[in-house]
Amino acid sequence: MTQASAPGKAILFGEHAVVYDQPAIAVPLSDLRTTVIIRSIDAQPPSVHVVATDLDHSFWLHEMDDRDPLAYAIRLALQATMPELQESFEISVSSKIPIASGLGSGAAASVAIIRALSSFFKVDLSDASISALAYRVEKLHHGTPSGIDNSTIAFEQALYYKRNQDPQPFSLGRPLQLVLGHCGVDSQTGAVVAAVRDRWQASMEEYSAIFSQIGELVERGYDNLKAGDHKQVGILMNENHALLQRIGVSNQALDQLVARASTSGAYGAKLSGAGAGGFMIALVGTETRESVARALQDAGARHILVVQVSG
């Protein structure tokens, strides 16, 4: 039996603007993981059985086409590790990362699958090659991904990220305590990114100016995260949320949760990921963690997660 896993991720600064070549910062959520287990099975000719445990769904790989992201990730990983299949195996995928919520569940499944297969077939793949393969699956999910999800998840480190450049891992000055609240509406990254593109095309000057302002916030956020100045990081998160509102990717439920987090003691809060649904994140201190989680619950959050991001 071979097992591998990959974490979720949260974008702290710069979502959407990163698609337009501005920098962004994301951190892995190592407590929330997708796990993949591979076991040899008896089946002839050599075949792959896939079990998506949480979806209560299973299939033979040869019966699925590449539009299924799990099938596509497995095929890409097999091309890189064992192009001529000589044995049968079952691959099960299970996850603690909520789907369609901005936490990188798709990229985590891809990375965990690729890692598990590389270990099963004893083919060493670097984090960069795993990330590059997972990026190809991300493209299937949502057309023009920046690559921040697969990079943060494959490297499992805090990253300063710019499209088409090597990701820059960095150390946080202090661990982060985050409370995440789901606003109750699912988020489809591809659709939200496409809608932003339409609006950018219609008002290019205005949108490009907002993306540049987000880029400036990211630089300041980067300095303050390295210095461990969470008060400043929180202020910048609030500013980032206001700019995300201006590009139309927040909604009333996210705005309410963000406002409640701030009035209940968080350093700051913002939506995270594509928006128009999914999770918001609040940066808190140990002493405010409980009060913020309770306030988000009172404000109607569908799902609350309290996580720590170390180093």
Find all residues with CB under 8 Å of 206, minimum gap 6, and list them.
none
Please select the residue that binds ligand PMV; options are 5, 189, 240, 288, rule is CB under 6 A: 189
Q: How far is the CB of 21 from ligand PMV (least distance, A)?
A: 11
Nearer to ligand PMV, 100 or 235 (CB): 100
Q: Which is nearer to ligand PMV, 68 or 138 (CB)?
A: 138
149 assigned to active site: yes
Provide the CB-side half-sphere exposure for 255 (13 A, CA).
10
The mark string for 62-101 relative to ligand PMV (x by CB under 6 A, - otherwise) is ----------------------------------------
Q: For ligand PMV, which is the closer residue by CB, 146 or 264?
A: 146
Nearer to ligand PMV, 15 or 68 (CB): 15
Catalytic residue among 68, 149, 166, 186: 149
Q: Find the length of the chain.
A: 311
Q: Is 15 one of the binding residues for ligand PMV (CB under 6 A)?
A: yes
Stretch that binds ligand PMV, among 16-24, 68-76, 226-234, 287-295 (CB under 6 A): 16-24
- In the region spanning residues 266 to 305, those forming contacts with ligand PMV, defined by CB under 6 A, are 273-274
Do you find a cis peptide bond into 28, omega within 30 degrees of 0? no
CB of 219 to ligand PMV, least distance (A): 17
Tell me which long-range contacts 128-134 makes (C-beta under 8 A, separation of at least 24). 128/154, 128/166, 129/80, 130/154, 131/155, 131/167, 133/73, 133/76, 133/77, 133/80, 134/73, 134/107, 134/110
Q: How far is CA 311 from CA 4, 166, 187, 227, 290, in A?
A: 22, 20, 29, 12, 22
Q: Which of residues 102-141 bind ligand PMV (CB under 6 A)?
A: 102, 104
User: Where are any strands of DSSP class E within the chain?
Assistant: 2-13, 24-40, 48-52, 57-60, 89-95, 159-161, 168-169, 176-182, 268-271, 279-284, 304-309
Between CA 32 and CA 43, with CA 38 as vertex, the angle to 5 degrees is: 150
Under rule CB under 6 A, residue 221 binds ligand PMV: no
Q: Interface residues with ligand PMV (CB under 6 A)?
A: 11, 15-16, 18-19, 102, 104, 145-146, 148-149, 189, 193, 273-274
Please give the positions annotated as active site: 149
